Structure 1
Amino acid sequence: MAQKLEAKGGKKGGVWDDGVHDGIRKVYVGQGQDCIAFVKFEYVDGFEVVVGDEHGKKTLLGTEEFEIDADDYLVYVEAFRDKATEESIVDLKFETYKGKTNKHIETSPGVKFVLHGGKIIGFHGRSSDVVHSIGAYVTFPSTPDLQGKWIKVHIHRNVQLRRIRGAFSSRVHNITKEMAQKVGPFGGNKGDAFDDGVLGYTGVKKVTVGENGNGVDCIKIEYEKDGRFETQMHGSVTGILKEFELNYPDEYITSIQGTYSNVARYNTTIVKTLTFKTSHGRTSPMFGNTAIFSTDFVVEGKAGAKLMGFHGRSGSALDAIGAHFFASTSPLKHIEPRGGFGGNAWDDGVYDGVSKISVGLNCGNIGYVRFKYVKGSTSVRHSHGKMSEEPKFKVDYPNEYVTSVEGTYNFCGDVTSLTFKTSKGRVSPEFGKASGSKFVLAVKDHMLVGFCGRNGLILNCLSALGARFAPVPTPVPTPVPTPVAPVPAPVPAKKLEAKGGNHGAAWDDGFYEDVRKIYVGQGDSGVSFVKFEYDIGKKLVAGDGHGKMSLLGTEEFELDFPNEYIVSVEGCYDKVFGFEAEVVTMVKFKTNKRTSPPFGMDGGIPFVFEMKDHKIVGFHGKSGDYVHQVGVHVSPISKS
Structure 2
Amino acid sequence: MFLSQQNDMNTVFWWFPHQQPAHQRRMVASSKVIRVGPWGGRGGSPWDDGPHRGVRSITLAYSRFLESMTVEYVDRSGRPVYGEKHGGGTSRSRSEKVPLIPNQVVCARSMHVSSIFVCNGQLIDDIWVQIELDFPYEFVTGVSGRYQEVHVGSLPVVRSLTFTTSRGKVHGPFGYDEGTPFAYPMEGGVVVGFTGRSSWHVDALGLYVAALRPETLCDVVHERGLSAYRSFVYGGGGARYPQQQQQQQQQYGTTAQHHQAKRPFEWCYK
Q: TM-score, normalised by structure 2?
A: 0.54
Q: Which has the higher strand share?
A: 1
Structure 1's 483 and 531: CA in aligned 2 closer, same or farther, altered over 3 A? farther
Q: Which residue of 1 aligns with 2:118?
A: none
The reply on whether 1:530 has 2:69 as its aligned counterpart is: yes
% identical aligned pairs: 30
Looking at structure 2, the residues matched to 484 and 629 of structure 1 have their Cα atoms a distance apart, in angstroms, of 50
Structure 1's 586 and 502: CA in aligned 2 closer, same or farther, altered over 3 A? same
What SS does structure 1 have at the residue aligned with 2:60?
A: strand
Letter of the structure 2 residue corresponding to residue 507 of structure 1: W
- Between structure 1 and structure 2, the one with the greater Rg is 1
CA contact (8 A) 1:621 1:628 kept: yes
Structure 1's 517 and 497: CA in aligned 2 closer, same or farther, altered over 3 A? same
The reply on whether 1:557 has 2:131 as its aligned counterpart is: yes
Q: Which residue of 1 aligns with 2:205?
A: 630
Q: Which residue of 2 aligns with 1:510?
A: 50
Aligned with residue 547 of structure 1, among 70, 87, 92: 87
The reply on whether 1:598 has 2:137 as its aligned counterpart is: no
Aligned with residue 574 of structure 1, among 148, 153, 177: 148
After superposition, the C-alpha distances for 1:401-435 in whole angstroms (9 at most, x for unaligned) are: xxxxxxxxxxxxxxxxxxxxxxxxxxxxxxxxxxx
What SS does structure 1 have at the residue aligned with 2:84?
A: strand
After superposition, the C-alpha distances for 1:40-72 in whole angstroms (9 at most, x for unaligned) are: xxxxxxxxxxxxxxxxxxxxxxxxxxxxxxxxx
Structure 1's 639 and 545: CA in aligned 2 closer, same or farther, altered over 3 A? same
Q: Which residue of 2 aligns with 1:589?
A: 163
Segments of structure 2 that go 5 or more residues without pairing to the other structure are: 1-7, 14-29, 93-125, 216-270
CA contact (8 A) 1:503 1:580 kept: no
Looking at structure 1, the residues matched to 203 and 173 of structure 2 have their Cα atoms a distance apart, in angstroms, of 17
Structure 1's 627 and 565: CA in aligned 2 closer, same or farther, altered over 3 A? same
Looking at structure 1, the residues matched to 12 and 52 of structure 2 have their Cα atoms a distance apart, in angstroms, of 25
CA shift for structure 1 position 485: 6.6
Q: Which residue of 1 aligns with 2:253?
A: none
CA shift for structure 1 position 539: 0.8
CA shift for structure 1 position 598: 1.5
Q: Which residue of 2 aligns with 1:217?
A: none
Looking at structure 2, the residues matched to 559 and 565 of structure 1 have their Cα atoms a distance apart, in angstroms, of 7
CA shift for structure 1 position 562: 1.4
Letter of the structure 2 residue corresponding to residue 514 of structure 1: G
After superposition, the C-alpha distances for 1:353-408 in whole angstroms (9 at most, x for unaligned) are: xxxxxxxxxxxxxxxxxxxxxxxxxxxxxxxxxxxxxxxxxxxxxxxxxxxxxxxx
Letter of the structure 2 residue corresponding to residue 616 of structure 1: V
Aligned with residue 612 of structure 1, among 164, 178, 187: 187
After superposition, the C-alpha distances for 1:488-541 in whole angstroms (9 at most, x for unaligned) are: xx5411000200011110011000111000000114x30010010001121111
Looking at structure 2, the residues matched to 509 and 585 of structure 1 have their Cα atoms a distance apart, in angstroms, of 21
Looking at structure 2, the residues matched to 491 and 621 of structure 1 have their Cα atoms a distance apart, in angstroms, of 21
Q: Which residue of 2 aligns with 1:493?
A: 33
Q: Which residue of 2 aligns with 1:183?
A: none
After superposition, the C-alpha distances for 1:231-267 in whole angstroms (9 at most, x for unaligned) are: xxxxxxxxxxxxxxxxxxxxxxxxxxxxxxxxxxxxx
What SS does structure 1 have at the residue aligned with 2:214?
A: coil
Letter of the structure 1 residue corresponding to residue 184 of structure 2: F
Q: Which residue of 1 aligns with 2:196?
A: 621
Q: How does 1:67-78 map to 2 (within 5 A)?
A: none
Looking at structure 1, the residues matched to 11 and 190 of structure 2 have their Cα atoms a distance apart, in angstroms, of 29
Range 630-639 or range 571-580, more displaced? 571-580
Looking at structure 2, the residues matched to 514 and 576 of structure 1 have their Cα atoms a distance apart, in angstroms, of 32
Letter of the structure 2 residue corresponding to residue 622 of structure 1: R
CA contact (8 A) 1:609 1:632 kept: no
Looking at structure 2, the residues matched to 618 and 493 of structure 1 have their Cα atoms a distance apart, in angstroms, of 9
Segments of structure 1 that go 5 or more residues without pairing to the other structure are: 1-480
Structure 1's 601 and 483: CA in aligned 2 closer, same or farther, altered over 3 A? farther
Letter of the structure 2 residue corresponding to residue 598 of structure 1: P
CA shift for structure 1 position 639: 2.9
Q: How does 1:7-406 map to 2 (within 5 A)?
A: none
Letter of the structure 2 residue corresponding to residue 559 of structure 1: L
What SS does structure 1 have at the residue aligned with 2:135?
A: coil
CA shift for structure 1 position 597: 2.3
Letter of the structure 1 residue corresponding to residue 159 of structure 2: T
Looking at structure 2, the residues matched to 616 and 572 of structure 1 have their Cα atoms a distance apart, in angstroms, of 18
Looking at structure 2, the residues matched to 606 and 616 of structure 1 have their Cα atoms a distance apart, in angstroms, of 19
After superposition, the C-alpha distances for 1:65-91 in whole angstroms (9 at most, x for unaligned) are: xxxxxxxxxxxxxxxxxxxxxxxxxxx
CA shift for structure 1 position 596: 0.6
Q: Which residue of 2 aligns with 1:415?
A: none
What SS does structure 1 have at the residue aligned with 2:171?
A: coil
Looking at structure 2, the residues matched to 591 and 557 of structure 1 have their Cα atoms a distance apart, in angstroms, of 11
What SS does structure 1 have at the residue aligned with 2:42?
A: coil
Looking at structure 2, the residues matched to 484 and 582 of structure 1 have their Cα atoms a distance apart, in angstroms, of 58
Q: Which has the higher contact order (CA 8 A, sep 6+)?
A: 2
Looking at structure 2, the residues matched to 574 and 617 of structure 1 have their Cα atoms a distance apart, in angstroms, of 26
Provide the aligned length of Structure 1 versus Structure 2.
156
CA shift for structure 1 position 483: 5.9
CA shift for structure 1 position 611: 3.0
